[in-house]
Every structure is written in C-alpha cells, then in structure tokens.
Structure 1
C-alpha cells in the first residue's frame, strides 16, 4: 500500500525532535497561541490561530482550511469564487516544525509555516500535495532540479518598501536624491532599530541597509538556500507590518507608490551550487566573469523572463515601475557586467542580480520559475550573448529574447505561451494564476481613474 505525502509528513512530525523542541519552548517561554500559516498565490499570509497546548495534536492531525484561501477567497466579476468554489474540499495544513518561532513583540504568540495537502477523504488524490500551495511548489521544483542536475539555488533578496507617517518626510535639494543620506536614515531610526531587532530574533541574519528614495528603506538579510530565503522574506514583511502598527505609521510593499519616485523592487541575487562549489564562478579568474554553466543558466533566465512576468510583476501597479525609465528598473530583457540598468546584472564573480521581481512578489513562485528557467537554459545550452554596454533605456531589445511585458494583460499572455514556466508550476496552479490576474486586469480596465478624469473631463470641445 502506497503511503501518501500527507501521511509521510504526519509520520515525520510525530517523531521529530523539532516537535519536542517546540513543546519545550512553549513551556519555557509561556507561549499561549500559535499561528499556523501558509502563503496564498499573491503572497498573502493566511491560516488559523490555535491555543499552544494543541500543538502536539495539530502537528500530526493538521489544520483544515477552505482551499479558496489559496486565492484570497477572491470572487471574480462574474461571481465565481476562485480556487474551486464554495463546495470545494478543504485542504489540510501540516506544520513544518523546524519553522516554529516565538514572536518577539508578543512572546505569548508563536508562528509556524505549513505545507498543504489534499484531505484524506477524497476518492482520488487523497493526501497528495495541494497543487496551489506555493510554498510546497517551490520545495518540489527545487528538489527535482537538484535531483536532475546536482545543483541547488542560493538566493538573497533586496526588499525595498515605503514607510509613511508623521516626522518621516525629509527635504532634500531639488534634482538630487536622498539616497544613502544618513540624515534620512536617522529620521527612520525607530523603524530600522525595531525591524532589525525583531528580524534577528526570528532568525534573519541582517547585514546592511540604506535609505533609497522618499520614504523608501531597504534592509537586507544574508543569502541562503532559496527555500529558506523565501520563508524569511515572508517573515520580514510580517515584521515590517508589526513595526508600523507599533509606531502608528504605514508600511507598504506596493511596487510603485507614486509617479516620479523610484518603485519598490525585490531584486533576487542568486548563485548555483554543486557539492559546495558555486558553479557560476571560474576558480582563479579575478576579473568580472561568468562560467559557461552560469552563462547557460542565465540564457534560460533571459529566455523565460517574459513568461515569468506574471509572477515577478503580479499586480496592475507593478508595471508602472518598468515604464518609469531611468529609475533603476529594467525596461527590456538583457544582461550586463555590473550594469544597473539591465534585467540581470553580474554584480560580482559568482553572483547574478535579477531585477524584475518587485516588492509584492510571491517569493516561492519567483524562485520556482527562476529554477525552471535555469534548467531549460542548462539543458538546451542557451547562450545569453554579449553583455549590454551603457544604458539599457536606449536602443532596441535583443531579438533573441522576448520583449518585456509592459502591462498585466501582456504578462498574462506571455505566461500562457511559456510551456516551461507553466509546466514547472503545474496545470492547476497555472490556471488559477491566470484566472486570478485576468480578473484583476479586467477590473482595472473597466475602472475610471483620476488620470482619465483630469485628462478628458474638460477636453472636448
């Protein structure tokens, strides 16, 4: 008799040393409640709260939740509840016990990440991984990539975001920028202190940060295995929202908060490792370079960047960031040697920086589609061509690669055409992504904006 993935996870949890450690922590620190959380297709954290005394039972039995939570219980303009409808079965959320952590701002609460499975009672597919569990999808894609290639992806994120509140507004010389200005960091010192303190208590190795534009602060943490980096980015966002509540201000990961200011990106810095060696780098070469294996992985990434834009720029607002040329966001698909205007920048030997993902990105999906693109590039030995010189904001798109989608509607079409990306994510998740974002695009196209009123209200005759 075949044991389901759900049963295997339950069995592992029942005898896991992480369960004993979590129970001991609950007792020692007086934890009273636990959030059982997963991540929807848009990066929203969803789940339930339970008294901590039930952790041992929940670790094996799991937590039930309606499967449409994977799509934020979003209803389309036609009244369709995305993700299966009202009568769809619930999924079973099983905790990954090694992610148990006490919340530093209220030690009576803890949180734990879960993976999602089809429920036991289904006639077909009972106990299988839930296809729209984005966190589970990254684990699967990464594991299969490693099995086929011997490689693992390590990544670090640069989460830019906007803070808004009394006393945070600074003045600076016209036609200049407040970027790197310590005075502006000082205005945001209460934010920086709290975010770093909470992040370090939750296991993020904070390394550096700066002030980048009006209200925009970037605080970075150390790179790691892509699965861990994705979890930490979700944790970082939750920390920032908590800090905003405590300080009585606002924290937003909206990709383009206002016209004329820099957008909020989430650049993914990545490398590929085999047997403890970074294969992007040629040993003994000191000048900026990329190995042959690295070039093929890069060629795959560039080839599939258009198809991946539904993930990297998942909102209507995302594309305002790419339109505003000169604000350090890419406007075409290319790469360069330490060229900050390119889609991909070789920033140091052994490390590439991917600049398309924005601040609202679901990090599980972004890393999953990158891995799928790498593997296709390695398999087909796709060459990225010569690196771009000078500004990418002038000149034509390299015709070997698709043009960058410049709206959510174009991104949906590009995603549908990319069999490598959709195959990696699976039919059910790919369909849900298209349905969700097509409805969002339709809603936007039918909405009258302030710009339209200002432009057309009195324009005729």
Structure 2
C-alpha cells in the first residue's frame, strides 16, 4: 500500500469513527466515461472492500447509453453468461464527496476475476498502459482538461418530461467573461468550486463562456491519471449539485444549433527530473522548445485521424466542428491561436501543448491515452512537426480537416494499424465495435428534424 493510500484509509477510518462519513461510493469509469459502481456502508467498506474489492457485471463495458447490452463484443456477451469482473479500489483516489451527505468516493481499476490481470479494454487500464510507457522513457506526464458545459434552469426530470426541448438556459445573452452574468450563476458555480476544493480537486477559476448559459470551471493541472480521475469526479459533482438545486447541466458537445459547442481542451507536457522536458532553445517558428516538444507535437498531430473517436466519441461530437465557431476544424498548430487544433501556450517551464479538438463529451482516459500514444510515437520515430501556421486557420482550406461524422471517424479508427498496434488487437476490436454500434444506432433512429421537414411537405 502506498503512503497516499495508507493516509487516505486512516483519514476515512477517523471520519467513520466520528460519524462524519457513513457511505462510500465505489466506482469506475465505463467506456462512455460515466461512473458506475455501488454504495457501501462505510464500516463494511473498511472491513471488507478496501482490501478485497468488490464485483460488478462485466456487461457494463458493453452497454449502450440506455444500459442495454450490445451484442457483438468478444469481451462479454450472452454466450459467456455475462459474468463478473473485480473492482479494485485505488485508495490513492479515496476522498470526501462533500456534495453528498456524509459520503466519500473511491475510483477502481478493473481486474479479471480468474487471472486478476487488469481488464485490457477498461479505459483506466488503457491510460495506465501509456503512462507506463512514458515512465519507461523517463517521463512524467502532466495534464489538465478544460471542460465547458451549459447550465439550465430546469431539473433533469423536467428536461426529460419536456423532451429536452424549450429548456431555459441560465443566461440570456452571450456571457463570455461577463462578471455580471457570472454573478447570476454564482450560487451554483460557487457551490461547485467549494465542493471540488473540499473534495481534494483544486480549482483555479470559473468564467462565463460564449453560449447562453455556457460556463467553465478550470481545475489545477496534475499528473495525467490523477487529472483523468478529477475530470470524471468533476462531471459527477456538477451533475449532482445541479440535481440538488433543481437545475441541470449538459456536457454535450453541441447542444444547440447556432450556439457555441462545449469543448474539452487538453493541456499536456512531459516532465523529467522535475523539469519541463518541453522547454528548450530550438526554434519552432516563434516558439522556443526542445526536440522532445517538437517530436511529441508532431506525433500528436499525425495520429489524430487514427484516434479521432477518442476525442469525439458521439454522433453529436461532430456537429461542433463549424468554421468560425471557436471549435477547430483543421489539423494545424500555432502559437496562442484559438483557430488552431493545436494551440501552443506558455514559455519555458510553462510551455505546453493545448489540443482543442476534443469535445466535452469525451472520455478523459481514452483521450489522454490517445494523446500519449501519439506523442510518444513522435519521440520514438523522431518526427518533425509541420510548419507553424499563422493567421485564420478556418480559411486554410488546403489543410486536412477533422472528420464530418462519427461514422467516418470510426472507419478511420477501424482501419488504423497504428491504433491496433497501440491498443492491442482485443481493445482495438472492442472500441471499433463500440463506436460503430453508436453510429449504427443513430442511423436507425428517426429524428425530430426529419419529422419537421418531411411530415407534411414531402
């Protein structure tokens, strides 16, 4: 047991002893990035679960958004009987969940019940594999995920009853950086900031964004696995605080036509011996950085087509990619340029790469695993980044564009020999089926757009 894990367990035992905590949520991220799991009586957790773990049905890595088991997966299916996998608490993640009454939460790794090896298709496993690869090369990976969301003055139940139509946003004009409109949303936003801070998830700031009722809360950067854990806990916190206030938030990439999409900008840098390995004196246009910086950037850009569904995993994701909408549409890099898919920011020790391609609907474990696999390949192959682009990248029609649909992105992922070699055949097949199943489900659905367009006038 690590020092952090032992300290967290002692903290929990003390809080349970005084009656301050009586419930422990035990969860893991599924393939959508949702937290799945169980609630335990705190005493039982300390006596049994902390050391031995618990069990969950393995179908949880093969369901659709409605929790229906999807056929065609090798990992779990009716023929195999949908058995269990083992949830192993990572006690380094144990923390209070102050937005819930007398509760703590811990995240788990998934192990095979028979072999006790990590489940190879689990998102947290895939990220840990790439972090181990970086560690073997001598690097620590630091990251931050910058999440945007929309806030509405209706509850989730009300939104469901209204068919998610006609929802009143928290703001009634574009509020980007507006302190006045931010004040109107502050009862919710302040509660979120304070709960996150009290739950061991340090916050930098919050601000209004460009859409009606759109906002963001920025977390402090951290080691990449810790950052992915903070990301999923952040989303859980916001949804549950909204629920308690009769509000709702959405992390859809594009909830409304004509409004800004919600992104998840990923900031990333490699560190070695306590120093930022991206810092250096080589010239990349106006950017001074190291070979490590240039090669990592080159690999990340080059392999976006291989892993596009890891950054944009839903049908809705691709509605966000509109020219002039603050979302990137083309694969290029620039310095402090918000039209670029890759925006390099900072200098010296703060130099980092900001990938602006991902939407707020991404699974952070998969997105960070893809980013690392791509950038580390750039180091291993000694790749050189394309020339820096200066100007309005939306107008650069000669540059390669991100895919137009999930179907197109899923086909690129399925054909990618790099993605297959990186993830392994089993995980690559699993996620190919996952993304294609999502696309096929959409193609079978009849939408409101079709009824409005064709019901009477066709």
Q: Which digits, 9 at most, give the CA deviation of each residue in 1:44-96, with x for residues without a partner?
A: 1001112111223112221111111123465477x567841140331101111
Correspondences of 1:247-258 after superposition (within 5 Å): 247-258=245-256
C-alpha displacement of 1:419: 2.6
- Contact 2:295 / 2:379 at 8 angstroms: preserved in 1? yes
- Contact 1:63 / 1:94 at 8 angstroms: preserved in 2? yes
Q: Which residue of 1 aligns with 2:160?
A: none
Q: Which residue of 2 aligns with 1:6?
A: none
- Contact 2:296 / 2:374 at 8 angstroms: preserved in 1? yes
Q: 1:44 to 1:248 in 2, by over 3 A?
A: same
**Equivalents in 1 of 2:421, 2:12: separation in Å?**
37
Q: Which residue of 1 aligns with 2:429?
A: 431
- Contact 2:90 / 2:108 at 8 angstroms: preserved in 1? yes
**Equivalents in 2 of 1:454, 1:340: separation in Å?**
36
Correspondences of 1:36-435 after superposition (within 5 Å): 36-55=26-45, 56-72=47-63, 74-75=67-68, 83-86=75-78, 87-120=81-114, 126-147=115-136, 149-165=137-153, 169-172=170-173, 177-212=174-209, 213-282=211-280, 288-322=287-321, 324-349=322-347, 350-398=351-399, 403-435=401-433
- Contact 1:68 / 1:82 at 8 angstroms: preserved in 2? no
- Secondary structure of 2:244 counterpart: helix
**Equivalents in 2 of 1:164, 1:171: separation in Å?**
11
C-alpha displacement of 1:380: 1.1
Q: Which residue of 2 aligns with 1:5?
A: none
- Contact 2:279 / 2:290 at 8 angstroms: preserved in 1? yes
Q: Which digits, 9 at most, give the CA deviation of each residue in 1:367-422, with x for residues without a partner?
A: 11111001111111111121112111112344xxx642121001111112223333
C-alpha displacement of 1:98: 1.8
**Equivalents in 2 of 1:21, 1:158: separation in Å?**
30
Return 5+ residue gaps in structure 2 as ranges.
Answer: 155-167
- Contact 1:307 / 1:418 at 8 angstroms: preserved in 2? yes
Could you tell me the TM-score, scaled by structure 1's length? 0.88
**Equivalents in 1 of 2:262, 2:7: separation in Å?**
40
Q: Greater CA deviation, 280-289 or 106-115?
A: 280-289
**Equivalents in 2 of 1:161, 1:430: separation in Å?**
30
**Equivalents in 2 of 1:379, 1:101: separation in Å?**
37
* Aligned positions, number: 434
Q: 1:179 to 1:290 in 2, by over 3 A?
A: same
- Contact 1:306 / 1:403 at 8 angstroms: preserved in 2? no
- Contact 2:130 / 2:373 at 8 angstroms: preserved in 1? yes
- Contact 1:344 / 1:353 at 8 angstroms: preserved in 2? yes
- Contact 1:372 / 1:420 at 8 angstroms: preserved in 2? no
C-alpha displacement of 1:106: 3.4
Could you tell me the TM-score, scaled by structure 2's length? 0.89
Q: Greater CA deviation, 263-272 or 178-187?
A: 178-187
C-alpha displacement of 1:219: 0.7
C-alpha displacement of 1:268: 0.4
**Equivalents in 2 of 1:335, 1:307: separation in Å?**
18
- Contact 1:105 / 1:198 at 8 angstroms: preserved in 2? yes
Q: 1:76 to 1:118 in 2, by over 3 A?
A: closer
- Secondary structure of 1:209 counterpart: strand
Q: Which digits, 9 at most, give the CA deviation of each residue in 1:236-284, with x for residues without a partner?
A: 1011011111210111111100001010101001111111111212269
C-alpha displacement of 1:355: 0.6
